[in-house]
C-alpha cells in the first residue's frame, strides 16, 4: 500500500468534508478577525488534534459501524441536540450578551487551543463520514486497516482539515472590511449554519425511522 497515496486520499476527503461553511471554519474565521491571525491558527490546531483522534476512531471501528447503523443513529441524535443548543446560543444569547460587553475579553492562545478541541469534539459528524470513506476506500483496495496505512490516512485528514480552516481564515481576513463580517452578523451566520445542519440532521433521523 502506497502510504503517500493514502495520505493524500485522507487530505482530499477531509478538504471535501470541511469545504461547506460550518461551525468550525466560521468560528476560526471569526476568532482571526476579532483577536488576530495567530489565535485563529491556534484554534485550528486545536480542532485538528481532535480530528486526528476522530479519524483514527472512525478507521478502527469502520467495519463495526457499517454493520451496526444504530450507532450512527445515536450519534445523529446527540449531534441534533448539540447543534440546536448552539443555534439558540448564537442567534439569541450571543447577540444579547455582545451588547452588554463594553470591551471584549482577550483570551490566551491556550484557551483558543482548548476551545478548538472542545468544539471539534462536539462535532461528531467526522466519525461516520470518515468511517464511510475508509470502508469505501478499503472496498476498492486503496486502503487497508494496517496501522501504518491508518496513521497515514489520519495524518492526511488532519492536514486537510487545517488547510481548509486556514483558507477560511485567509479569505475572511481579505474581506474583513465588509459589513457582514461584524460580530453580530458573524453570530447570525454561525447560528444560521448550525440551524440548517440541525434541520438536515432531523430530516435524516426521521427518514431512517
**Maximum Cα–Cα distance across the chain:** 58
pTM of the full structure: 0.67
Q: Dump the DSSP string for 12-80.
A: HHHHHHHSS--HHHHHHHHHHHHH-HHHHHHHHHHHHHHHHHHHHHHHHTHHHHHH-HHHHHHHHHHHH
- Kind plus residue range of the DSSP H or E element containing 120: helix 109-122
With a CB cutoff of 8 Å and minimum separation 6, the contacts of 198 are 80, 83, 84, 87
Q: Which residue has the higher pLDDT, 35 or 108?
A: 35
The answer for residues whose C-beta is within 8 angstroms of residue 77's C-beta and 6 or more apart is: 205
State the Cα–Cα distance between residues 209 and 200, nearest whole angstrom: 14
What pLDDT sits at residue 43? 93
Tens of pLDDT, residues 45-69:
999 999 999 999 988 877 676 566 6
Taking only the tens place, the pLDDT of each residue in 159-204 is: 999 999 998 888 877 655 555 445 566 667 667 777 787 787 788 7
Q: How confident is the model at residue 93, as a pLDDT?
A: 78
pLDDT in tens, 105-151: 545 667 889 999 999 998 877 887 787 788 778 777 888 878 899 99
**C-alpha cell of 56?**
483514527
**Mean pLDDT, range 12-20, rounded to an integer:** 81
Amino acid at each position: 500500500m502506497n502510504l503517500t497515496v493514502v495520505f493524500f486520499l485522507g487530505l482530499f476527503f477531509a478538504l471535501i468534508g470541511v469545504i461547506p461553511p460550518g461551525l468550525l471554519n466560521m468560528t476560526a474565521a471569526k476568532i482571526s478577525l476579532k483577536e488576530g491571525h495567530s489565535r485563529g491558527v491556534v484554534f485550528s490546531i486545536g480542532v485538528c488534534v481532535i480530528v486526528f483522534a476522530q479519524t483514527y476512531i472512525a478507521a478502527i471501528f469502520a467495519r463495526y459501524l457499517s454493520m451496526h447503523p444504530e450507532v450512527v443513529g445515536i450519534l445523529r441524535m446527540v449531534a441534533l441536540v448539540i447543534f440546536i443548543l448552539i443555534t439558540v446560543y448564537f442567534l439569541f444569547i450571543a447577540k444579547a450578551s455582545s451588547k452588554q460587553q463594553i470591551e471584549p475579553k482577550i483570551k490566551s492562545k491556550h484557551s483558543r487551543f482548548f476551545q478548538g478541541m472542545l468544539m471539534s469534539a462536539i462535532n461528531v459528524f467526522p466519525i461516520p463520514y470518515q468511517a464511510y470513506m475508509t470502508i469505501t476506500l478499503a472496498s476498492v483496495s486503496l486502503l487497508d486497516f494496517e496501522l501504518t496505512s491508518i496513521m497515514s490516512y489520519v495524518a492526511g485528514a488532519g492536514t486537510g482539515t487545517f488547510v481548509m480552516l486556514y483558507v477560511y481564515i485567509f479569505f475572511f481576513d481579505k474581506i474583513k472590511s465588509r459589513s457582514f463580517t461584524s460580530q453580530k452578523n458573524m453570530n447570525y451566520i454561525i447560528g444560521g449554519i448550525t440551524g440548517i445542519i440541525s434541520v438536515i440532521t432531523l430530516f435524516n433521523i426521521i427518514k431512517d425511522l
